[in-house]
Structure 1
Amino acid sequence: MVRRQVRGGVVWAKLGSFSFAGSSADGENTLGRQNCDDGIAVGLSELEREGADHDSLKPVAAWVNDLYSLPSLAIIMSYFSVGVVLTFTTVPVTVYLIQELGASSTQFTVYTIVCKLPWSFKVFFGFISDAFPIGGMRRLPYLVIGWTVHIACYVMLAFLVRPTVEWVIGAAFVAACGYLLSDVMTDSIMVERTKLESTKHTGTVQASGYIARAFGSAVGSTAGALVYNQANWGLGLSIAQIMLINAVVPLACVSPFIPYLKETVKTSLPTARHVWRTHWQEIWALVRKRMVWQPMTFVYIYNAMMIPNAAWNNFLIEGLKFSDFYLGAIAIAGSVTAWLGLVLYKQFYMQANWRSVYLVTTIFNLLVSIAQVLLILGWNKALGIPDLIFAAGDGGAEEFLMSMQFLPVVIMYAAICPEGTEGTSYAMLTTLSNVADTVAVVIGDLLTQTWDTSNDSLANHEWGGLLKLTLFTSFMQLLPLLLLPLLPADKAEQHAMQYSNDSSWWGGFVFLSVTLGSIAFSMLQPFYEIYG
């Protein structure tokens, strides 16, 4: 049974054991008061089991799908803050560790590892929030905890003034765990709200969130490349000031809106004794479904075959003598074009065929990758294009195309996440995608041993090995297209798969084995690189 009432431009609906409550013009909550005060709780499973029309029965409040409304601003600002803190310190900390503290290559590798390692923990962050609510809320408390940890770490580094390599490494690891915990919570809230969208508009809210994060990345990379340039410009901020700014960003952008964030409150929760078993039974039931393991097979193999040219940055530094500022400029170009790609997709391609998107962007990405040959051979200069402009344009084009592929799969992830395990399931799907990228990086590193791409060769303009590596990694991108039929054609086909009963024990077993194995690999491989 669904009851709706409109007061002051807001719609309330009560669905089964969940309630959906927003603030009205007179401050009175009619439906849903018995379950939550200013939170929202939404569930469609009972309606769908009764055969109700999926689109017509979805409750809608004026602010739920508007991320720029006051009850939603904490979400959009959290996404923005994650984008900023991910990129703002990249150039300053790199310069500080290597040039000012004289960090060895091993120490800097350890720093890189600890910044990436917490990405493998996302599925565990999601599980904790799903299974162990705090005060009946599964997202908001952990969102606050995560940002508090991040802020505390960078405030500590700021007060140390000139933190040692060990302090930077330790604080970076704990801070990364903090902001990724918050990021998983933000993703989970977004997935819950995506469930309220009609099939036609599915993913619109997600796109807005990820556009905000991409914009934050553009802002962070630009600011980071500009404010710590004392060697080149004779002015800039100190490393302590950089650390303090990185702490202030979420404090200033997210905390003012936390009191207004409306959270999903689940009114029927399993007891602590059964929560582990119940939760993993739900996950096991999910991964056995064809709607999960079939498209994720394509996503994993596709990402694993997007093998990066592991010698490219070395070529820019050793071969073309690019400065830190030049590398920062390329990073800025990539961040800006990635943001533009997300904006363009949301505006014009939300109803596009997913297979067509992957086919077209892969072919164009092949052309972009092959264009690197022009830079290697120096033909760009014959065309009157400086090395920096060509490299930035090439890198920017690649990021643009990758961002166009990003939204279709995350929309698919959100749609297949079951109610009650959004945090775990969404983090699991995105983690599998991320660790496939790690596999691609490892393959890229191994390929550098096939052809001579050593720093000495690059510095001596012996670029034959680099040319072969570039061509090989470029054409490898085409292989996963053979599996493109495994990906749903569009949201309608994905929606149909979602409500089918097709499942496979072996499909689920292989999916979980690859997921857990890849997570273990991504956690252990960096340490093998250091100590192996």
Structure 2
Amino acid sequence: MTCFKFLRGSSPFVFAVFQGLLYKFIFSSTFAFFGQYLNVDGHQFASMIVLLRNTASLKIFFSFLSDSVPIFGLRRLPYMICALLITAASTFTMFILPMPEPYFEIEDHKNTGCSRNISSITNMEAPNKALSYAILFVLTNISMQWADCCVDALLTQKSMLEDEKNRGKLIATIKIVQKLGGVVFALFFAFAFNKVAYGGRFCSFGLEFNHMALVVAVGCLFTLVYVILFTNERDIEMGSKSNMKENIVNLWRLVQKSHFLKLLVYRFAVSFLFGINTPARSKVEIRWVGVEPMVKQVMGVIINLLSAGAMYFYRQKLMHANWRNLVLILTSLEITLRMLTEVVAIFGIVRNQFAWYADDLVNGFMHMWVHFTMALIVIEYAPKQLEGTSFAFLFCVSSSSGSLGTAFGNIIMSQFDVTNDDRYRNDTLSDQLAVFTTYLIDWGCALSSLFFVFLIPTQKSMAKKWRSEGEERLWTKRAVGFLLVVVFGFCSSLVLSTLTMFEETRCLPIAGGSGCNK
């Protein structure tokens, strides 16, 4: 009984660890399984990421449902249970699906091992098999986002009960636990996903993709049981009542408030500009740099360790730093380091997989700091009874605009034909310049995001001031216009990203292809 009391309320920590496992599986698979095993095109690869990112847009609906419709008097736990059950079912389905043959031929050299012959194709249909797995990945991510928004709401409620000096430290601790868990899972996937068929070095040692899906399914079931036993939602609800009609009115009023609308516009603009990524990155990484899954995962281990340490440093030293200055400095450094490592790889000056990830060692925790800063601002802005919805709305907007940015970037960069494998086989100066041009567009868009930093407050004191002013100042027409843009962006990016998943349409320039007549 004493042990039960001690563990009561610890479910967000266990959920954070499982979240690290699931996301390591998803993003390891996008590189090793989709990029290497099935050999999907560059714009398909980018759109796979977009489809996964688009699922975050659904958090607003899940969060509002959780905030407004309690089940058995609980607003979080019942929905977490449903979401985790769907996650377990979808990952188990990946396990039982028959595995397709790899795209490239695997040559067995008997005494000297084996290798992948990229000049010999054994399964031309492999990229077309990506669709069924992509659908399962999207379903898995949707259900995980559903559970995640409930945990976010729980943590936001708990953080709002903290005093101003310590507000946000609980979420910071959760992030540290998540990163440390990510270290263990990155090591696991580094060895498990290192077969030759997945771009690695091992002939027989390691697990197949479907076996790793089973590992995730089992982990999900364990997390489900733990969440049921050790979630203390009743301790923080304290008799609060939810009313859907009232919450709809309050949500619309919140979106009209000047301080919250400025924050939404900031996330939309920044995510859109950062979403304009070159579709050449996956090809450069695989064909020119020669990144292996094992090295990618080992670097992930180091990045997670640094991120956990950096998050602890933020928790101890930067909780009261100027938010605008943090975003300006971190974003500038992140883009500068990216430019240095990517330029030397594109022009063949240094094509080393360890050098390729040098910027990620720093950028990993820089990005997390910026993300965490946004979470601190939301805690200051979130009204009661809309704790989850406020948090989800921000990231829904961010996800939609980021997806729109990627789809927009695919259209712009389709004229450079950087998803064609011949560019990377020939590797001439003209090929390098074409790839470099798309990277210039990528970097320029990212740097332009700095012009919007004035839309966020400098610290908690300014956030409070803006919030009080927002109670008096409603921007109704601007809110309507903004929401129309967000809805258009979400629908457009979803359609354009889906086009890349079908053989008949992925060649279209609007989908990022080089033209179907070529």
Provide closer, same or farther for how the CA distance between residues 458 and 111 of structure 1 changes in structure 2, counting only shifts above 3 A. Answer: closer
Alignment check: 8 A CA contact 2:377 2:463 kept: yes
Letter in 2 for 1:150: T
TM-score w.r.t. length of structure 1: 0.77
Distance 1:115 1:418 in 2: 29
| Pick aligned residue for 2:87 from 150, 154, 162 | 150
2-side partners of 1:111 and 1:335: how far apart?
23
Where 2:479 maps in the other structure, the secondary structure is helix
Deviations 1:65-94, CA, capped at 9 Å, x for gaps: xxxx62221011112211210112543576
Counterpart for residue 486 of structure 1? 455
Is 1:346 the counterpart of 2:315 in the alignment?
A: yes
Say if 1:79 and 1:160 are closer, same or farther in 2 by CA, change over 3 A: same
Structure 1 unaligned runs (5+)? Answer: 1-22, 26-37, 39-62, 64-68, 381-385
The equivalent residue for 1:458 is 424
Provide the secondary structure at the position in 1 that maps to 2:8: helix
- Matched with 1:293 is 261
Which residue pairs with 2:125 in the alignment? none
CA contact (8 A) 1:338 1:403 kept: yes
Asked if the contact 2:327–2:370 (Cα under 8 Å) also holds between the matched residues in 1, the reply is yes
CA distance in 1 between counterparts of 2:468 and 2:319 reads 22
Q: How does 1:309-320 map to 2 (within 5 A)?
A: 309-320=278-289
Query: How much does 1:282 deviate?
Result: 0.8
Q: Which of the residues 233, 237, 259 maps onto 1:265?
A: 237
Question: Which string of whole-angstrom CA distances, capped at 9 and with x for unpartnered residues, describes residues 38-59 of structure 1?
Answer: 9xxxxxxxxxxxxxxxxxxxxx
**Closer/same/farther in 2, CA of residues 192 and 71 from structure 1, 3 Å limit:** same
Residue from 369, 383, 387 that aligns with 2:352? 387
Unaligned runs of 5+ in 2: 101-128, 509-518
| Distance apart, 1:192 and its partner CA | 0.7
Q: Does residue 406 in structure 1 map to residue 371 in structure 2?
A: yes
Q: Is the 8 A contact 1:338 1:402 kept in 2?
A: no
Does residue 484 of structure 2 align to residue 516 of structure 1?
no
CA pair 171-464 structure 1, distance change in 2 beyond 3 A: closer
Alignment correspondent of 1:86: 23
Counterpart-to-counterpart distance in 2, 1:97 and 1:313: 11
Helix, strand or coil at the partner of 2:500:
helix
Conservation of the 8 A alpha-carbon contact between 2:51 and 2:494: no
Matched, 1:507 2:481: no
Higher relative contact order (CA 8 A, sep 6+): 2
Q: State how many pairs are aligned.
A: 459
| Residues 175-200 of structure 1: per-residue CA shift (max 9 Å, x gap) | 32222211111011011111112222
Q: Is the 8 A contact 1:191 1:414 kept in 2?
A: yes
Quick check: 2:42–2:279 contact (8 Å CA) kept in 1? no
- Residue 140 in 1 paired to residue 77 in 2? yes
Q: Distance in 2 between matches of 1:434 and 1:92?
A: 21
Q: Residue 204 of structure 1: CA displacement?
A: 1.2
CA contact (8 A) 2:66 2:388 kept: yes
Write the deviation string for residues 260-287 of structure 1: whole angstroms up to 9, x where unpaired: 32114363546xxxx4432211101101
Supply the distance in 1 between the matched residues of 2:69 and 2:59 (Cα, whole angstroms): 15
Cα separation, 1, equivalents of 2:330 and 2:39: 42
Amino acid aligned to 1:236: G
Deviation at 1:290, TM superposition (A): 1.3
- What SS is found at the alignment partner of 1:448? helix
**Are 2:56 and 1:119 aligned?**
yes
Match in the other structure for 2:216: 246
Matches of 1:464 and 1:105, distance apart in 2: 17
Deviates most, 459-468 or 288-297 = 459-468
What is the rounded CA distance, in whole Å, between the counterparts of 2:454 and 2:72 in structure 1? 45
1:191 aligns with 2:156: yes
Maintained 8 Å contact 1:86/1:220? no
2:291 paired residue among 290, 302, 322? 322
Partner residue in 2 for 1:373:
343
Which secondary structure does the structure 2 equivalent of 1:277 belong to?
Answer: helix
Task: Indicate yes or no: 2:139 matched with 1:202.
Answer: no
Q: Name which of structure 1's ranges 170-179 and 350-359 shifts more when overlaid on structure 2.
A: 170-179
Shift of 1:97: 6.2
Q: 1:434 aligns with which of 389, 399, 402?
A: 399
- Secondary structure in 1 aligned to 2:237? coil
Instruction: Report deviation, 1:122.
Output: 1.0
Deviation, 1:126, is 0.7
User: Once the 2 structures are TM-superposed, how far is the Cα of residue 220 of structure 1 from its aligned partner?
Assistant: 3.2
After superposition, give the CA deviation of every residue in 1:73-132 in whole Å (9 maximum; x if it has no partner). Answer: 101111221121011254357655677778899998886666444322111111111121
1:425 corresponds to which of 390, 393, 403 = 390
Give the drift of 1:396: 2.7
How far apart are residue 421 of structure 1 and its match? Answer: 1.6
Stretch of structure 1 that moved more, 351-360 or 168-177 = 168-177
> Structure 1 residues 185, 282: CA separation in 2 closer, same or farther (over 3 Å shift)?
same
1: CA distance, partners of 2:457 / 2:483:
21
- TM-score (ref. length: structure 2): 0.79
Deviation at 1:134, TM superposition (A): 0.3
| Structure 1 residues 170 and 505: CA distance shift in structure 2, 3 A | closer
Alpha-carbon distance change, 506 to 443 in structure 1, aligned in 2, over 3 angstroms: same
Shift of 1:313: 1.9
Identity %: 19
Q: Does 1:358 align with 2:327?
A: yes
Alignment correspondent of 2:465: 496
Structure ranking higher in helix proportion = 2
| 1:174 alignment partner in structure 2 | 139
- Does residue 473 in structure 1 map to residue 442 in structure 2? yes
Structure 1 residues 268 and 392: alpha-carbon distance in aligned structure 2, compared to 1, 3 A threshold: closer
For the structure 1 residues 104 and 295, does the alpha-carbon distance in structure 2 shift closer, same or farther, using more than 3 Å as the test? Answer: closer
Relative to structure 1, is the Cα distance of residues 222 and 517 closer, same or farther in structure 2, using a 3 angstrom cutoff? farther
Contact 2:334 2:359 (C-alpha < 8 Å) held by counterparts: no
Amino acid at match of 2:335: L
Asked if structure 1 preserves the Cα contact closer than 8 Å seen for 2:46 and 2:406, the reply is no
- The question of whether the paired residues in 2 share the 8 Å contact of 1:334 and 1:392 is answered with no
